[in-house]
Amino acid sequence: MEIPYTSAVHPETGLYNAKGGIWLFLASEVMLFGALFTSYILLRVGATEWPHGSAILNVPLATLNTVVLITSSVTMVMSWASLMMKNFGRYRLYMGLTILLGLTFLVVKSFEYGAKFEHGLFPSTSTFLAIYFTMTGLHGLHVIGGIIVNSYLWGPGRKLWKTDPQRFTNRIEVAGLYWHFVDIVWIFLFPVFYLL
Amino acid sequence: MSTPLTSQAVEPAPGVRAHHEELSWWRKYVFSTDHKIIALQYAFTSMVFLLFGFMLMVLMRWQLAYPERSIPALPFVIPLGIIGLVVIFIAGVKPSINSLMGLLLLGLGAMVMFLTSGEERMPEGIMLPEFYNSLGAMHGTIMVFLGVVPLAVGAFGNFVIPLQIGAPDMAFPKINAASYWAYFVGGVVMLASFFVPAGAAQSGWTSYPPLAAVTPLSRDVLTGQTMWILGMVFLITSSLLGSINFITTIIQLRTKGLTFMRLPFFVWAQFVTSFLLLLAFPPLEAAAIFQLMDRVVGTSFFLPSGLVLSGTPLNVSGGGNPLLWQHLFWFLAHPEVYVLILPALGIVAEIIANNIRKPLWGYKAMVYSLIFLGFMSFIVWAHHMFLTGMGTVMSAFFQTTTMIISIPSVVILSCLFISLHGGSIRFNTPMLFALVFLPMFGIGGLTGLPLGLATSDIHLHDTYYVIGHFHYVVAPGTLFGLFAGIYYWFPKVSGRRMNELWGKIHFWGTFVCMNVIFFPMLIQGMAGVSRRFYDGGQQYAHAQSVLYLNEVMSIAAWVMAVFQLIFIINFFVCIRKGKKVTENHWQATTLEWAAAPTPPIAHGNFLTRPVVYRGPYEYSVPGHAKDYTPQNQARDV
């Protein structure tokens, strides 16, 4: 017996296996970042003093990064849509753009980190900086993970398109769901740390 | 998976036989993606950890019974060595589960030798307080995260779920393997932490800061506590991957006709358990990251301002909150308690239904209670924190939810008790363990009520009463459920059965010893003996009247160890030499017995896809020829 619904859709749930799996994974990610944001609130409420984010952090750079990440979500959808329209060349273009935008985000972020370290602002300096570095760092790790997966699907993993195009398209959809989640986390992180 | 179904049956060419077989052993048993093999990997690894965690406790019980007296290490090591050699002897020279396990048992003996020597642990055989703390912390961690949960979920869930729902494998076989290997690495990291300078984690299995954030006082990067955190990150990853797999499998891969209300109760229990693992573990991951930052980078997430350590102010920014850790930790660790107990409840329900030869009473009520229990387990966590000064409003809320969550537990237990009424019960070994699970879990649950009420918890908090309560739930509770499961599904895995006489000896010995170990803890706790005294309370006036119980409990623990050796020998001998059994040995109705061959074929399980026509427990249906009607049977024959 073969495992059913690896690429076909289950008639009752409307999901193929990987799509069900990624939604469950994202549910657990929501709990992870939910716990982190809750901790942020508890630490901030309990603190005697709490700096305004814009006094320490670089708002223009972060705004740029927000635009970069949202754009990358758009190109991610375009890459999936291209596959749905059987246009593999277009897929590679958009997926490549998504990867580049992800890398751009990381480069900008590393400039931000570097500037903080130059000014002697480290995670151990204050609770604000501690949770800022922890949460954005963890988000950065998620971005790196997404870039690795996307690069695989752009590069060596694309061979699957020739043998099983439906399953390959599914993989792009699943990777896209994850990438959008990473994007959404940043959309929460940006106002919480930089604007509030 | 694209692996052919008949991979097991392929005969190698005569000339390359020996070499080829060795290779295929590694491919088949070590780097496998078949859910049954992964389940066995989980089972054997977790049983080794259970034994190791038990050995730590055996050492601690020496210290509690005879503080300041030198420990005779050899009586603890020699049995392990002998049993290891016996297991290897049974196995012969070729690589097999038995020879590997024999080597592991010898390794455990060496590990105990190592632990009972060394100036920084036991100078002249007398245990140092720091080492006692390490043993306590690691006993809890190993038993919960490396022993019971991987056995209950990783092993039983992995093996039984796909078979009971008529699926060829898990939904994601590779992720399943990754889940095991993440668990394996986490376990190795935990074990390795015993060897770093200053030894393994010392701050209890709960790792409360600020203590956990600052001990041991070492600038080394890899201290025991840091390795504890790293190990936990691997274990969390493992359970995340596993739970995603379980839930997807149960939702997507149920065979034709197997509706949710026709699922065996065991599958339901694993389903709810997986949701708890999926949603409760991430907050602990967040907490672990925070504590890692505190220890390695020097942040102050859990370190309040003005902390003074050994007379010198701590050089940190401060402003953190130790209670934050407790909230995040218990947000995991309370659902974790249900992760420990629900799979065992599922196993017990299967075995009871099978051996009373009639349907479970109130199957639907049990299922709904289970779901309600899973939901409620997320909002009771702070009943572990009544004494932290979090305020009466919080205490009142969590005390109320705690009282509410006892209702579904009682419903499930009552249903199982009522099911016994009027049945013609078969008292085989799995049934004995399953039957005794009921009152033992009952004691565990009822002793929890005074802890869940904020007022009575003031007296009982952090005493041996808590230890007794928790162990009644997990040791004679969950572990008995797991033993029952091992005896029950052993024929399905191996095609042979375990020896009944030795099984019953194991059962009675363990049952008596368990109670002699844990009931005195309740008494000591009510006298006010703290759970953390490393000398068992000798220096404290209020502990004097119950001090004699320490020796009683310790002797019972050592006698129980002997009965576990009987189990180990019975287990390994019967893998090779047990009596062969028929496909449906227990005359059960569920799919793993009724439809799958014994043992089920690698990568595929079933010869043809089974179709389900009826509920899981159609035993003794009036008018039917047999006293059991398998789920895949269309009409009475």
The contacts of residue B250 (CB under 8 Å, 6+ apart) are B161, B165, B263, B267, B270, B271, B274
Q: State how far residue B495 is from chain A, nearest Cα, in angstroms.
A: 22
Q: What is the SS3 assignment for B199?
A: coil
- B167 vs A: CB within 8 A: yes
**Residue B458 to residue B154: CA distance in whole angstroms:** 37
CB-CB neighbors (< 8 A) of A17 in chain B: 171-172, 248, 252-253
For an interface test with B, give the residue of A9, A15, A31 to mutate (most B CBs within 10 A): A31
Tokens of B38: 């992964």
Residue B422 touches partner A, C-beta closer than 8 Å: no
What tokens does A73 get? 């979500």
| Higher-pLDDT residue of A23, B100 | A23
SS (H, E, C) A97-156: HHHHHHHHHHHHHHHHHHHHHHCCCCCCCCHHHHHHHHHHHHHHHHHHHHHHHHHHHHCH
pLDDT value for B93: 58
Domains and CATH numbers, chain A: 17-195 (1.20.120.80)
Strands B496-497 and B579-580: antiparallel
Number of Cβ within 10 Å of residue B233's Cβ equals 18
CA distance A184 to chain B (A): 18
Q: Which of A156, A5, A35, A60 is nearest to B287 (CA)?
A: A35
Contact between B320 and A126 using a beta-carbon 8 Å cutoff: no
Three-state SS letters, A53-102? HHHHCCHHHHHHHHHHHHHHHHHHHHHHHHHHCCCHHHHHHHHHHHHHHH
B217 DSSP 8-state letter: -
Distance CA A194, CA A48 (A): 19
Mutation test of the interface with chain A: which of B252, B294, B296, B326, choosing the one with the most A Cβ atoms within 10 A? Answer: B252
| Mutation target vs B (from A2, A3, A25, A138; most B CBs, 10 A cutoff) | A3
Residue A167 sits at the vertex; the CA angle it makes with A161 and A172, to the nearest 5 degrees, is 80
Q: Which of A4, A28, A130 sits opposite B299 (nearest CB)?
A: A130
CB B463 within 8 A of CB B447: no
User: Is it true that the peptide bond before B335 is cis, omega within 30 degrees of 0?
Assistant: no
Q: Is the CB of residue B296 less than 8 Å away from at least one CB of chain A?
A: no
The answer as to whether B23 is a domain residue is no
Identity of the residue in A2, A5, A48 whose CB atom sits nearest the CB atom of B252: A5
List phi, psi (to 5°) of B418: -65, -30
Q: How many CA atoms lie within 13 A of B517 on its CB side?
A: 25
Please tell me the distance in Å from B239's CA to the nearest CA on chain A: 11
Instruction: Look at B245 and A43 and tell me if their CB atoms are within 8 Å.
Output: no
What confidence score (pLDDT) does residue B17 get? 39
Rounded distance between C-alpha atoms, residue A75 and residue B91, angstroms:
58
Closest C-alpha among B615, B593, B597, B594 to residue B606: B597
How many angstroms separate the CA of residue B297 from the nearest CA in chain A? 7
- The gap between the terminal CA atoms of chain B, to the nearest Å, is 36
Chain-chain contact of A130 with B317 (C-beta, under 8 angstroms): yes
Spell out which residues of chain B touch residue A126, defining contact as CB-CB under 8 Å.
317, 319
Angle at B569 between CA B474 and CA B162, to 5 degrees: 55
The distance of Cα A168 from the centroid of its chain, to the nearest Å, equals 20
Q: State how far the Cα of B40 lies from the Cα of B117, in Å rounded to an integer.
A: 33
Residues of B with Cβ-Cβ distance to A178 under 8 angstroms:
none
Closest C-alpha to B624, from B608, B611, B612, B635: B635
Give the phi and the psi of residue B605 in degrees, each rounded to 5.
65, -60
Query: pLDDT (tens digit, 9 = 90+) per residue, B484-519?
Result: 999 999 999 999 999 999 999 999 999 999 999 999
Does a structural domain hold residue B636? no
Contact B121, B199 (CB under 8 A): yes
Residue B87 counted as domain residue: no
Residues in chain B with pLDDT < 50? 1-23
**Which value does ipTM take for this structure?**
0.96
- How is residue B555 annotated by DSSP? H
Closest residue in B to A25 (Cα–Cα): B244
How far apart are alpha carbons B142 and B46 in whole angstroms?
9
The answer to whether residue B85 sits within a structural domain is no
Distance between B300 CA and the closest CA of chain A, angstroms: 6
- Domain span including residue B263: 35-71+116-303+320-594
Q: Could you give the angle at the alpha carbon of B371 between the alpha carbons of B368 and B377, nearest 5°?
A: 135
Cβ within 8 Å of residue B56, ≥6 positions away: B115, B135, B138, B139, B142
Count of domains observed in chain B: 1
Sign of CA dihedral B560, B563, B565, B568: negative
Residues 609-628 (B) with a CB less than 8 A from some CB of A? 609
Which of chain A's residues have a Cβ under 8 Å away from the Cβ of B5?
Answer: 1
The reply to whether omega before B599 is within 30° of 0 (cis) is: yes
**Which pTM does this prediction carry?**
0.94
Between positions 427 and 456 of B, the ones with CB within 8 A of A are none
Closest by Cβ to B282, choosing from A10, A35, A39: A35
Q: How far apart are CA B68 and CA B465, in angstroms?
A: 25
Residue B10: per-residue pLDDT: 40
Contact A123 B293 (CB under 8 A): yes
- In angstroms, the separation between the Cα of residue B2 and the nearest Cα of chain A is 8
Torsion over CA: B308, B312, B314, B315 (sign):
positive
pLDDT of residue B3: 38
CB contact under 8 A, B169 and A3: yes
CATH number at residue B473: 1.20.210.10
Taking the alpha carbons at both ends of chain A, their separation in whole angstroms is 56
Structure token digits, residue B526? 């009510």
Partner residue opposite B240 with nearest CB, options A4, A28, A42: A28
Residue of A nearest to B605 (CA): A1
Residue B8 has a pLDDT of 41
